[in-house]
Amino acid sequence: MSVQDEFSFINSITPKKYKQPHLVAGVGDDAALYSGNNDVEEIVCMDTMIEEVHFNRQTMKPFHIGYKALASNISDIAAMGGVPNFYLVSIAIPKHWPDTGLLEIYKGMEALADRYQMDLIGGDTVSSKHSLVITVTVIGRVLKGRHLLRKNAKANDIVFATGSLGDSMAGLELLLKSGVDFNFSKDEQALITRHQLPEPRVEIGQILAKFPRVALNDVSDGIASELNEIASASDVTIVIEAEKLPKSSQITSFSEDQQLHWMLNGGEDYELVGTVSEEDWIEIKKECEQKNYSITKIGYVTNGPAKVLIKQGDQMNLLQMLGFNHFK
Binding-site residue ranges: 30, 47, 54, 76, 106, 123-124, 150, 218, 220-221, 268, 324
Instruction: Give the total residue count for the chain.
Output: 328
Please state the residue numbers annotated as binding site for ATP: 106, 123-124, 150, 220
The Cα–Cα gap between 25 and 43 comes to 19
Known binding residues for substrate: 54, 268, 324
| Residues flagged as binding site for Mg(2+) | 30, 47, 76, 124, 218, 221
Q: What's 120's DSSP letter?
A: E
Q: How far is CA 132 from the centre of its chain?
A: 21
CA distances from 195 to 49, 227, 230 (A): 15, 21, 25
318 vs 59: CA distance, rounded Å? 33
Tell me how far apart the alpha carbons of residues 119 and 96 are, in angstroms, rounded to a whole number.
Answer: 29
Residues 68 and 60: beta-carbon distance below 8 Å = yes
Alpha-carbon distance of 204 to 217, in angstroms, equals 12
Are 272 and 217 spatial neighbours (Cβ–Cβ below 8 Å)? Answer: yes
Query: Measured between alpha carbons, how far is 187 from 203 in angstroms, rounded to an integer?
Result: 26
